[in-house]
Structure 1
Amino acid sequence: MTGNNTISNEAAYHKQLSDLQGRVNHLEEILHQGKEVLNLDEAAKFMGISRSTLYKMTHEQTIPFYKPNGKMVFFEKADLLTWIRQNRYSSKAEISEEADRIIRKLAAK
């Protein structure tokens, strides 16, 4: 009976530890959301791409970044959002609305 209690207690301990780790991870993500300047790892996670892809983009200078000490790479979250939004594609509804607006404008002439 003591062996079963030990296993049960150990399982409960591991579950509690796992729950606490999940809560810590969640809190860390909330803190990172408020940051304005991100390091390479944070920026890659923010954009949903790999570190190597982001590093390659900095090497090719296709994305804005900062290198204040000549070694570490940093990104401003606002710059990343602007860069992400630069090649927006319109939805079919937006294209249809624009076409209707142009047709109405041409018909009025």
Structure 2
Amino acid sequence: MKVESHEHRIGIMENLLRDAKQVLTLEEAALFMGISKSSLYKMTHKHELPFFRPNGKIIYFEKSELLNWMRQNRSMSEAETKAAATKHMSELCK
């Protein structure tokens, strides 16, 4: 097999392992969230999202908690907004 093929397969395996991982380091969490490590450090300093620091130094994040945090303050689609407005108007007319 070619080296490129092996590298590609290794990359796929690394992605699968990363997807299965439930506890993330700061670097992994930043990649997962699509933000810089600096931004994530600032957010932990302000206690804007949940994190763990079991040894007092290294910061860890639980993937499910990051997903829950990222899903906060959801914006409704235009169709959802129209449906909510229609429902509200029909309730007012009763």
How far off its partner does 1:28 sit?
0.8
Structure 1 runs of 4+ aligned residues shifted over 2 Å read: none
Distance 1:19 1:44 in 2: 28
Q: Quick one: which of 78, 99, 102 aligns to 2:64?
A: 78
Deviations 1:56-78 (A, max 9, x none): 21122111100000001000011
Count of residue pairs the alignment pairs up:
94
CA RMSD of aligned residues (A): 1.3
% identical aligned pairs: 47
Counterpart secondary structure, 1:61: coil
TM-score for the superposition, normalised by structure 1: 0.79
Counterpart secondary structure, 2:75: coil
Q: Quick one: which of 90, 98, 101 aligns to 2:84?
A: 98
The residue type paired with residue 72 of structure 1 is I
Deviations 1:46-91 (A, max 9, x none): 1111112111211221111000000010000111011101111111
How far off its partner does 1:99 sit?
0.5
Q: Report the equivalent of 2:25.
A: 39
Unpaired runs of 5+ in structure 2? none
Deviations 1:12-66 (A, max 9, x none): x8xx212211211111111111111111111111111111211121122111100
Matched, 1:56 2:42: yes
Larger Rg: 1
Q: Quick one: which of 58, 66, 79 aligns to 2:52?
A: 66
Unpaired runs of 5+ in structure 1? 1-12
User: Which protein, 1 or 2, shows the higher relative CO under an 8 Å CA cutoff with sep ≥ 6?
Assistant: 2
Q: Quick one: which of 11, 17, 21 aligns to 2:7?
A: 21
Distance 2:72 2:44 in 1: 17
Counterpart secondary structure, 2:72: helix
